[in-house]
Amino acid sequence: MHAPRLFTLAWPLFLELLLGIGVGVVGTALAAQLSDQSGAAFALANFVAGTLFILFRVVGAGVGVVVSQALGAGRRDAADAVARAALGASTWVGGLCAALALVGAAPLMHLLNAPAEVLPLAQPLLQWLAPAMLLDAWNASMASVMRAHLRTRDTLVVMVLMHSAHIALALPLMGGVGAWPGLGLVGFAVALTLARTSALVLHLLLWRTQPGYALRTVGFSPAAAAYAGIRPRSQIVQAMALSGALAALVGINEIAGVHGRLLPDFVAGAGFAGIAVSLIGRNHPLGIVLASLLFGALYQGGSELAFEINGFSRDMVFMLQGLIVLFAGAMAQVASPLLFKAWRAVAKNAGGRRDG
């Protein structure tokens, strides 16, 4: 039995780290659009919150090691006990960090020598970030326990949805919607709290409830789920409803940020794009993110080129999208068995040479 490679276990962690950095970059850009002082205040408050978040990472890393050792020794009861204790410890650590940010925001800002024009913006922002710190502590502990059970990809799904929801909510809450000016910097903290709450709910739904177990079972094998007494059709409908609720966050940006009003056909083409993105991304979080960026660039770039270049039409963009779906999506299913056989032959020959 071969041990799993380090890259297979580590790449979700690096991707999660990059997503967190990306959220910080987007937040800084949105804050800088408000004013230079807002950008500086966001940087200071986010730095303090990130420093406190290191404590959650330390607790989560230790929990992951202990739970992995208990599972490796076949002591499932001990692993469950450690997981429960970790949730209690994260509650204390997260609560203390949230209290520190709420009560000690002013001393922390003075300790960082915050300028006088930045201090009135940075201090309330750090205080508004306090509830999200407690939620971050819980999410970090639960994610570490799931990784210890080799559920790294499932944890990544939750993190991708959490960061995507954060960005989708931060855009209207910080910049405003129509005549509403928005909350400014506080909108980022509100969006952060809502996104962390959604991640916590997803963690509990997937791993601590019977509906989450039924949904995962249907995803792995509908036949096995039916044999266990689960109705696959009902679970599929529930999954579609949940996906529609999450996709509604995209509609918020489209209505509030692009059109500024409700249009009857503002979702035209979204269904085709969603199916194509899912097909090319292989229903994997990383693949879906990359495929979404590709199709977003094609849509926006095609519109710009149609205005800039004479003779260029959007039909060319549609044709390119169809070719991508055909070769990278549908044809991949045809070619994958042949490529797999070729890869096994190469691997077998390489193994024979090493043995010889």
Q: What is the pLDDT of residues 28-86, one digit of tens each?
A: 888 888 888 888 888 888 888 888 777 777 777 777 777 777 877 788 788 778 777 87
Answer whether residue 356 is part of any domain. no
Q: For 177, which DSSP code?
A: B
Q: How many CA atoms lie within 13 A of 107 on its CB side?
A: 6
Could you tell me the two tokens for 305?
A: 């080129």
On whether both 135 and 177 belong to a single domain, the answer is yes
The confidence band for 258, taking pLDDT boundaries of 50, 70 and 90, is: low
Q: For 271, which DSSP code?
A: H
The confidence band for 8, taking pLDDT boundaries of 50, 70 and 90, is: low
Q: Which residues contact 55 (CB under 8 A, 6 or more apart)?
A: 93, 97
On whether both 145 and 213 belong to a single domain, the answer is no
Tell me the per-residue pLDDT of 118-170, one tens digit each, with 9 for 90 and over: 888 888 888 888 888 888 888 888 888 777 776 777 777 777 778 878 888 88
Could you tell me the two tokens for 110?
A: 């003075």
On whether both 19 and 119 belong to a single domain, the answer is yes
What is the count of structural domains for the chain?
3
On whether both 68 and 186 belong to a single domain, the answer is yes
Q: Which residues contact 204 (CB under 8 A, 6 or more apart)?
A: 212
Would you say 94 and 134 are in contact if contact means Cβ atoms under 8 Å apart? yes
pLDDT confidence of residue 334: 66
pTM score of the predicted model: 0.58
On whether both 119 and 17 belong to a single domain, the answer is yes
Q: Which residues pair with 180 in a beta bridge?
A: 177
Answer whether residue 106 is part of any domain. yes
| pLDDT reading at 7 higher than 70 | no
Domain that includes residue 301, residue range: 269-342
